[in-house]
């Protein structure tokens, strides 16, 4: 008997988020869909893993689970305890409410959950819907389904995921992109609380994006779905060689055998 393919779905907006349910519905039928998602909003938690308290799993339906932890906890628990330790054929994280482009991928719980899937041995996709007037998850869900089928068929290189951002409205098409560059304005807002104490809010200002052709931000801004391949290994290989050329191996000073 041929075993049915398994897809693990998670997100960082929480189990009740519309984007998660729409994604699960879109992928149902092409594989056995397992949903393991945080029981509360976890946006911006990046790759956090809960190590200082036990986690609880709530079964909410057939192959549907909520965890009182982070997106990374969900993938870890999902694969080790719910899927019996066997990596699923695909991990899909999303559909996030809001884009995850440029350096945002480093803060994103959505992207980090997909990376956790990669670390544990599955190909993975992160899917985000940019916010705006008339937002709908319909186009993102349809594209996620097509891309999931493509990825199941073709596979992905090791240590690699595909990061997808979908514009508001009907997409003009699809563009393969690199990460964009963003500058923050007024990143931290300072105010005085009702008791006269100083408070700080992070993320108060509107980000300004450099409009560089071929980046996720630029192409999404032009109305295209962007697909950016991301690599887990952040080693800057060119500079590694350059460091050697610059003599920073310091072998004479630091090698045990050295002087
Ligand atoms: Mn989110």
| Per-residue pLDDT tens over the stretch 145-204 | 999 999 999 999 999 999 999 999 999 999 999 999 887 666 788 999 999 999 998 876
What rounded mean pLDDT belongs to the chain? 94
- Cα–Cα distance between 137 and 153 in angstroms, integer? 24
For position 188, what pLDDT does the model report?
85
Measured in angstroms, how far is the CA atom of residue 176 from the centroid of ligand 1? 23
For position 209, what pLDDT does the model report?
81
Measured in angstroms, how far is the CA atom of residue 98 from the centroid of ligand 1? 7
Judge residue 157's burial from the number of C-beta atoms within 10 Å of its C-beta, 0-12 exposed, 13-18 middle, 19 or more buried: exposed
Q: What count of Cα atoms within 13 Å lies in the side-chain half-sphere of residue 173? A: 5
Find the mean pLDDT for residues 215-220.
96
Percent above pLDDT 90 for the chain: 83
Measured in angstroms, how far is the CA atom of residue 110 from the centroid of ligand 1? 6
Measured in angstroms, how far is the CA atom of residue 25 from the centroid of ligand 1? 19
CB-CB contact of 44 with 70 (8 Å): no
- Cα–Cα distance between 128 and 131 in angstroms, integer? 9
Measured in angstroms, how far is the CA atom of residue 99 from the centroid of ligand 1? 9
Measured in angstroms, how far is the CA atom of residue 97 from the centroid of ligand 1? 6
Measured in angstroms, how far is the CA atom of residue 257 from the centroid of ligand 1? 51
For position 54, what pLDDT does the model report?
97
| Per-residue pLDDT tens over the stretch 1-26 | 567 899 999 999 999 999 999 999 99
Measured in angstroms, how far is the CA atom of residue 140 from the centroid of ligand 1? 15
Find the mean pLDDT for residues 231-253.
91
Measured in angstroms, how far is the CA atom of residue 27 from the centroid of ligand 1? 20
Could you tell me whether strands 188-192 and 198-202 are parallel, antiparallel, or unpaired per DSSP bridges? antiparallel
pTM, two decimals, is: 0.93
Measured in angstroms, how far is the CA atom of residue 156 from the centroid of ligand 1? 24
Lowest mean pLDDT among 29-38, 47-56, 223-232, 242-251: 242-251
At 58, the pLDDT band (50, 70, 90 cuts) reads very high
For position 61, what pLDDT does the model report?
96
């Amino acid at each position: 008997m041929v075993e049915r393919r398994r897809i693990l779905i998670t997100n960082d907006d929480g189990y009740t988020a519309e984007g998660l349910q729409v994604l699960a519905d879109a992928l149902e039928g092409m594989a056995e869909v397992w949903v393991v998602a945080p029981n509360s909003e976890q946006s911006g938690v990046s790759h956090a893993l809960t190590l200082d308290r036990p986690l609880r799993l709530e079964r909410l339906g057939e192959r549907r689970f909520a965890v009182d932890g982070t997106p990374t906890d969900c993938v870890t628990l999902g694969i080790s305890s719910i899927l019996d330790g066997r990596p699923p054929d695909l991990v899909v994280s999303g559909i996030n409410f809001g884009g995850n482009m440029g350096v945002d991928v480093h803060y994103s719980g959505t992207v980090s959950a997909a990376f956790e899937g990669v670390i544990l041995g599955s190909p993975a996709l992160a899917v985000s819907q940019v916010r705006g007037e008339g937002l709908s998850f319909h186009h993102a869900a349809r594209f996620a389904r097509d891309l999931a089928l493509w990825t199941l068929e073709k596979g992905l290189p090791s240590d690699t995921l595909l990061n997808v951002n979908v514009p508001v409205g009907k997409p003009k098409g699809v563009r393969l992109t690199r990460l964009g560059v963003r500058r923050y304005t007024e990143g931290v807002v300072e105010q005085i609380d009702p008791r006269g104490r100083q408070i700080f809010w992070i993320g108060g200002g509107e980000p300004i994006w450099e409009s560089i052709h071929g980046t996720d931000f630029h192409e999404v801004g032009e109305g295209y779905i962007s697909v950016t391949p991301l690599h887990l290994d952040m080693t800057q290989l060119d500079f590694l060689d350059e460091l050697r050329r610059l003599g920073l191996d310091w072998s004479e000073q630091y090698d045990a055998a050295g002087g």
